[in-house]
Amino acid sequence: MNTIVGLDVGSTKICCLVGEVTEDEQLRIIGSGIVRSQGIKQGVVVDVEKVSESILAAVEKAEQISGYHIENAYVGVTGAHISSVNSRGRATINRNDHEITTDDVERALENAQAIAFPHNREIIHVIPRGFMVDGENGVRDPVGIHGYRLDVEAHIVTGAMTSLQNLEKCMTNAGIGVTDFILQPLASGEAVLRESEREMGVIMVDIGGGTTDIAVFINGSVWHTISLKVGGNHITNDIATGLQVPFSVAEDLKIRYGHALETAVDEDKTLDVVAFGDDSEQAVSRSDLVSVIYARVEEMFELILREVKRTGYDTLLPAGLVLCGGTASLSGIRALGQQTMDMPVRIGAPHDLEGLVDSLGSPAYATAVGLLQWGMRYADLPQGRSRRQEDGWWKRLGNWFNGAILPG
């Protein structure tokens, strides 16, 4: 059986999962290690030592439970340093039989990424959105088709080289190699999106502690990705500031009594909380708590809607929005999303899990579970080899064409 490791390095928690791919191609989770994150802010390493220690702690827990010695892992990445662009590439088919091969596809994709990137950017993904053969649109898998010209529309995701290097250094310090960096909303999409949603058009939104990651899927593939510098911790900060309570108290209030809709709570209900000062309890209105949450969450949805409208794809998304991440568990957030976005909204969580799943069916673990599923679906190298170190980014393109599979 093939063993896969996924590591979600987030602003709130670090989650390491170990999975086995069984003979019947099913993913079985055999180990997990979840620890509080330290040294990460808005998806970016700000303290190498603390992040390294947190990663090591999560890995050691996962090793202890699984009995598997972890050497490499698929690592989720996010942060405002992530950017994306859509580009077109072309390959001319000069052979006598004019039958398109994987080499032709790779040439077209190579030409698609031949654009001017700043020297401090590193390519994370080159994802085909769709192909044209001799000007004919709608080709999903061009291999084996006869033609004279192959065009590809590709979605290219890049990250700041220094941010990726800092995260890789933390991994190295913990004794773990990076099999691949995977954009977090793409990993989350593997865990929670339905095939019909990808085909029809859907927004994948993962609200983590420090960032909100967005991926737009249309016609079965990703068309747009971005990371916004706002997340669940911003809600907690607003509560702490507005109610004048410590961050830890604000987080507890959000989880236990929080709601995204002002009309859903009793205005007269009060909560006894420990405030700043002499540590004595004081009464705060639950309606005040919910008002703070409502204002921030509504703003987050407005930012998401603004970003989607900026892409011009807002009329191509009949499947609406799928929401995951820890903040997706906030009461009332689905209803507020429907109200603000004026589209269908559902909460996405990993499903049909096997093995030691415990609480992994929560929306908070979409990225971690999705990293395992990504590795199971797209890996084309033997376990134990680091394709970042040995093969470079170009080798990763082979993932998309294993078994003539397109992403999604």
At 278 the pLDDT is 65
Size of the chain in residues = 408
Q: What is the pLDDT of residue 371?
A: 97
382-385: list long-range contacts, CB under 8 Å, 24+ apart.
383/2, 383/3, 383/4, 383/72, 384/71, 384/72, 385/72, 385/179
- Residue 276 has a pLDDT of 77
Give pLDDT, residue 67.
95
- d(C-alpha 196, C-alpha 244), whole Å: 46
Domains of the chain are 83-158 (3.30.1490.110)
CA dist list (Å): 167 to 2, 5, 39 = 26, 16, 11
Q: What is the pTM of this model?
A: 0.89
Give the separation between CA 308 and CA 202, rounded to whole angstroms.
11
Q: How many CB atoms lie within 10 A of CB 175?
A: 13
pLDDT at 38: 94
Full pLDDT tens readout for the chain, 408 residues? 689 999 999 999 999 999 999 888 889 999 999 999 999 998 899 999 999 999 999 999 999 999 999 999 999 999 989 999 999 999 999 989 999 999 999 999 999 988 888 999 999 999 998 899 999 888 888 999 999 999 999 999 999 999 999 999 999 999 999 999 999 999 999 999 999 999 999 999 999 999 999 999 999 999 999 999 999 999 999 999 999 899 999 999 999 999 999 888 877 788 888 877 666 788 888 999 999 999 999 999 999 999 999 999 999 999 999 999 999 999 999 999 999 999 999 999 998 889 988 889 999 999 999 999 999 888 653 333 334 444 443 334 444 443 333 333
Q: Give residue 25's pLDDT.
A: 84
